[in-house]
Amino acid sequence: MFFELSRDTGYVTRIVPFVMTLIFALVSVVPLNLPGFSVVSPAFAMMAVFHWTVYRPDLLPPSAVFASGLFLDLLNGTPYVGLSALIFLLARTAVMGQRQFFVNRTFPVLWLGFLAFAAGSFALLWILVCLLHGGLVGLRPFVFQAVLTVACYPVGSYILALAHRALLART
Amino acid sequence: MKAAAQRLTLPFLIFVSALLIVFGKTDTFLYDGVRAALTDRVAPVLQVMRQPMVAVTSAFQGVSDIVAAHRENAELREENARLMQWQEVARRLAAENAELRDLVKLVPENAVHSIAARVIADSGGAFARNVLIDVGQKDGVQRGQAAMTGEGLVGRVAEVGDRTARVLLMTDLNSHIPVELEETHERAILDGDNSEEPRLIYLPPKTEVKVGARIVTGGAGGVFPPGLPVGVVSSIAGDVIRVEPYAELARLELLRIVDFGLSGVLPQSAVPAPRAARGRSGAAAR
């Protein structure tokens, strides 16, 4: 019902990308107590930032990217508040230059693009954490989280595409 | 004019992010208030989002339980027999202990009271190891208290909101816990380094450590009461001594926040210290 209504109210639909990114940030901190599952979980918010930057950058402007990065940082309880915000902003800038390449391509191409996006983001994250911590920090969790994030991208992408189609069809 | 402003937004926000990081680096406690307020607000949302996860988890658990039941049963029976013997020993020792205490008129230890907490979020990030729990100031949780599972120490409360609190796990980069070897009482620091097994550092020179040595909290620094089980030495490679925690840190669901009446000695909950001292004590506490 709510979705039916919101379809016609432009204002509500326009905040969908931002709200989805926040929800994805929340999902990434929900504990997955699956047996054998590792301590890291996929970086869902990163998927949302990538998706909206490729398809509707106008609806996820730098200010929204910044706000969702900050939200994630505060939620995560990391000592470096602003780090995700910084990385999301830089990553968005990188994708903006290439987005024409991704629009209207098949999913594997998009996935490959996300692979590059995630690899770059995590590499930068690792470098910044090392700098801030003042010493080398174990690389394995970063690699692991990057792999996990890329592996889970189809799921995240599917959900984002659903929301995209359902709510933004008329804007 | 508007176009120019739009073009400047991005560099400006990048600059602000960098500034926020630098500010946070210089004052570790700068964002604690904001963070606690935010987590208090989103806690109900997280509680709801947890539900489907709980269902999935228990389904998985159910299947693996059935698969493992037969083997586990045999193991448990064996363990039970062994524990019965230990129980006997413990009873005898407890009686003897009581007699000896009576003999030397030992003042009884502070009554320990603990708060049960449920994990509602874990950072799940590549470089932060902490969990959010559903109890806070209103339930009596204070910064500095020890968080444990039935198996052993998990970490300590690093940040407290009204209804939520954050527990810094012992594997976090910023976790430094005073510990000691259970047998010899040699003191050391358990230093989280983003791996699953924290390192044992600052052991006195020429200390002999063997794989399998039990590690318990040390009383140094007044952070934790001495003697809480922490883990066992799992590997020794040159200078690098690693400790495998007793608690299964990757799968935390229920925690016990233990109040030993010691948290008052931690700088943050005490009288506000002058700024310079705050920085220093902060580094020690984080």
Residue B231's domain is classified under what CATH number? 2.40.10.340
Q: Count residue pairs from A and B with Cβ separation < 8 A.
A: 164
ipTM for this prediction: 0.84
The closest of A108, A67, A97 to A84, measured between CA atoms, is: A67
**Residue A5 in tokens:** 């209504």
Share of chain A above pLDDT 70, in %: 88
Q: Are B123 and B24 part of one and the same domain? A: no
From the list B14, B131, B193, the residue facing A86 with the nearest CB is: B14
CA distance B88 to chain A (A): 34
Q: Are B120 and B262 part of one and the same domain? A: yes
* pLDDT tier, B108 (very low <50, low <70, confident <90, very high otherwise): low
Q: Is residue B48, in this structure, part of any structural domain at all?
A: yes
| pLDDT for B109 beyond 70 | no
Q: Is residue B132, in this structure, part of any structural domain at all?
A: yes
d(CA A132, CA A4): 47
* pLDDT tier, A21 (very low <50, low <70, confident <90, very high otherwise): very high
pLDDT tens track for A31-70 = 876 655 556 788 999 999 999 999 888 889 999 999 999 9
Q: Are B124 and B80 part of one and the same domain? A: no
Q: Is residue B142, in this structure, part of any structural domain at all?
A: yes
| pLDDT for B63 beyond 90 | no
Q: Is residue B45, in this structure, part of any structural domain at all?
A: yes
d(CA B5, CA B18): 20
Q: Are B123 and B191 part of one and the same domain? A: yes
Mean of pLDDT over chain B = 83
Total number of domains in chain B: 2
pTM given for the model: 0.81
pLDDT at B225: 79
SS3 per-residue string spanning chain A: CHHHHHHHCHHHHHCHHHHHHHHHHHHHHCCCCCCCCCCCCCCHHHHHHHHHHHHCHHHCCHHHHHHHHHHHHHHHCCCCCCHHHHHHHHHHHHHHHHHHHHCCCCHHHHHHHHHHHHHHHHHHHHHHHHHHHCCCCCCHHHHHHHHHHHHCHHHHHHHHHHHHHHHHCCC
Q: Are B258 and B117 part of one and the same domain? A: yes
Q: Chain B residue with minimal CA distance to A28?
A: B124
Q: Are B192 and B228 part of one and the same domain? A: yes
Domain carrying residue B250: 113-266
Give the amino acid at B240. Answer: V
Specify the higher pLDDT residue, A136 or B224: A136
* pLDDT tier, B271 (very low <50, low <70, confident <90, very high otherwise): very low
**Average confidence (pLDDT) over A154-171:** 81
pLDDT at B28: 77
| pLDDT for B167 beyond 90 | yes
Q: Which stretch of A37-51, B80-94, B142-156 has the lowest confidence by average pLDDT? A: A37-51
| pLDDT for A127 beyond 50 | yes
Query: Which of B42, B127, B254 is best to mutate for the A interface (most A CBs within 10 A)?
Result: B127
Q: Are B128 and B229 part of one and the same domain? A: yes
pLDDT at A168: 61
The closest of B149, B152, B162, B151 to B119, measured between CA atoms, is: B149
From the list B53, B131, B174, the residue facing A79 with the nearest CB is: B174
CA dihedral B84, B86, B91, B96 (to 10 degrees): 160
pLDDT tens track for B180-205 = 998 888 899 999 988 889 999 998 88
Would the CB atoms of A145 and B28 count as touching at under 8 Å? no
Q: Are B185 and B142 part of one and the same domain? A: yes
Q: Is residue B170, in this structure, part of any structural domain at all?
A: yes
Q: Are B39 and B127 part of one and the same domain? A: no
pLDDT tens track for A110-121 = 999 999 999 999
Query: Which of B17, B53, B54, B157 is best to mutate for the A interface (most A CBs within 10 A)?
Result: B17
Domain ranges of chain A: 2-30+37-168
pLDDT at B280: 40
Q: Is residue B108, in this structure, part of any structural domain at all?
A: no
d(CA B267, CA B279): 10
Q: Is residue B158, in this structure, part of any structural domain at all?
A: yes
